[in-house]
Amino acid sequence: MAYPLSDRIKSLPVSQTLAMAAKARELRAEGKDIIGLSLGEPDFNTPDFIKDAAIEAINQNYNSYSPVDGYVELKEAICTKFKRDNNLDYKPNQIVVSTGAKQSIANVAQVLLNKGDEVLLPAPYWVSYSAIAILSEATFVEIPSTIDTNFKITPAQLEAAITPKTKMVFFNSPNNPSGSIFSEAEYRALAKVLEKHPQIYILSDEIYEHINYDCKPFSFAQIENMYDRTITVNGLAKAFAMTGWRIGYLGAPEWIAKACTKMQGQVTSGTNCIAQRAAITAVLAPVEKIQFMVDEFKTRRDIIIGLLREIDGFKINVPDGAFYVFPDVSAFFGKTIDGVTIENAGDFSLFILEKANVATVSGDAFGAPDCIRMSYAASELQIREAIKRIKEALS
Ligand code: GLU
């Protein structure tokens, strides 16, 4: 039976990261020993000093609605963080706290985009960017890149993708899924192009900011002339192991922040009050307090890269940050292994799931159809076992 659902929901793709995680859970419930490398979720517990702050907030009876845009103490703490880590000057009236960075991004899209506007997505890009653009009735335009350029677009590519309809561009560094980090010089070169097109707004998603290994990320809004056109999005999920707490935030020109608050006021209201109180402690904590997780991710990155390099057909680069590897597996396309013909990255990801019991995400969800994404936010033991199984399944 065809249910009378809206065209909006019918046109919306399912989130492939969440779908793969759900599939892995389902197979586990059936008794299969699935190793999940699909979801970008740290396997650490939230640090005790943050948990203690939440418990204290409960005991202090934080149970009422918070202001829609977040507690003023949290917004002040976020301003302090932006100055400390990013040399960005934001005032509390430029900050909006949301239920995860995903909602921050969705708010921005809803308040800036009109039907027919074009959103530029340098590929590979996080799966929900394109879906969020679709929900805003905008059109998304991919700017492709490959592993050979370390998954980075060039200023010439950006220039060529711009039309009079272009309203926004989404940047994400460190990048999900590639782990690439744009250097200050690379960002400045892209900004030079955008200077010529003042109608374009920039969403800079910096959620993986603290998870970097070889070079520090640079905030796009630091570039002169870009601050007034840039929305800086961040959150606590990744670096603080707080995925389920759902705390994201943005810093933006005041008129954009105000519009996001209006939107959020009609959709979800203020974010969970206990999580917000704990977030004050997290945001103000010295970065050294979470460094042990970043160090561990780096160790795991080196392990998974080393192991994948031993498998013929995997083309690998070394990601600078986040906790994903994004190998190009196109060498397997057109091959038949163990009776299964692999035509594309989706087939490859499914093959690995079925023959090796390892869950990954196909690259086409990220606008990169030659690749698959593997999250190494899993234990070293699981990583070693997963790659061993994949190697066996492919031989
Ligand atoms: N951002 C994470 C990922 O890419 C969590 C899942 C999601 O929201 O997409 O795996």
- Pocket lining: 317 vs ligand 1, CB cutoff 6 Å: no
- Pocket lining: 17 vs ligand 1, CB cutoff 6 Å: yes
Residue 37 shares a structural domain with residue 166: no
- Pocket lining: 360 vs ligand 1, CB cutoff 6 Å: no
Helix (H) or strand (E) holding 141: strand 139-143
- Pocket lining: 18 vs ligand 1, CB cutoff 6 Å: yes
Range of the domain at 58: 48-286
- CA 220 vs. chain centroid, Å, equals 16
Burial level of 251, CB count in 10 A (0-12/13-18/19+)?
A: buried
Residue 304 shares a structural domain with residue 246: no
- Give residue 274's pLDDT: 98
C-alpha 18 to ligand 1 mean position (Å): 7
Closest residue (by CA) to atom 5 of ligand 1?
A: 40
Does the structure show a pLDDT above 80 at 395?
Answer: yes
Name the 3-class secondary structure at 213: coil
Contact between residue 326 and residue 319 where contact means Cβ atoms under 8 Å apart? yes
Residue 324 shares a structural domain with residue 223: no
- Pocket lining: 19 vs ligand 1, CB cutoff 6 Å: no
- The whole-chain average pLDDT of the chain stands at 96
What Rg, from alpha-carbon coordinates, does the chain have?
21
Burial level of 234, CB count in 10 A (0-12/13-18/19+)?
A: buried
Does residue 2 sit within a domain? no
Domain count, the chain: 2
Predicted confidence band of residue 2 (pLDDT cuts 50, 70, 90): confident
Residue 212 shares a structural domain with residue 294: no
Cα–Cα distances (Å) from 216 to 51, 68, 72, in that order, read 28, 33, 29
- Give residue 104's pLDDT: 98
**Exposed e or buried b per residue across 52-90, where buried means at least 16 C-beta atoms within 10 angstroms of its C-beta:** ebbeebeeeebeeebbbbbbeebbbbbbebbeebbebeb
The DSSP result for 266-295, as a single string, is: HHT-S--HHHHHHHHHHHHS-GGGGHHHHH
Residue 244 shares a structural domain with residue 333: no
Does residue 332 sit within a domain? yes
Say how far apart CA 357 and CA 333 lie, in whole Å. 20
Closest residue (by CA) to atom 10 of ligand 1?
A: 40
Query: Tens digit of pLDDT for each residue in 75-101?
Result: 999 999 999 999 999 999 999 999 999
Does residue 370 sit within a domain? yes
- Pocket lining: 38 vs ligand 1, CB cutoff 6 Å: no
- Give residue 217's pLDDT: 95
Residue 129 shares a structural domain with residue 259: yes
Say how far apart CA 155 and CA 162 lie, in whole Å. 11
- Pocket lining: 176 vs ligand 1, CB cutoff 6 Å: yes
C-alpha 286 to ligand 1 mean position (Å): 26
Does the structure show a pLDDT above 90 at 307?
Answer: yes
C-alpha 356 to ligand 1 mean position (Å): 22
Name the 3-class secondary structure at 54: helix
Query: Tens digit of pLDDT for each residue in 168-226?
Result: 999 999 999 999 999 999 999 999 999 999 999 999 999 999 999 989 999 999 999 99
Mutate to test the pocket of ligand 1, among 37, 105, 128 (most ligand atoms within 8 A of CB): 128
Residue 15 shares a structural domain with residue 125: no
DSSP lists the bridge partners of residue 321 as: 212
Lateral strand order in the sheet of 372-375 = 324-325, 372-375, 361-362
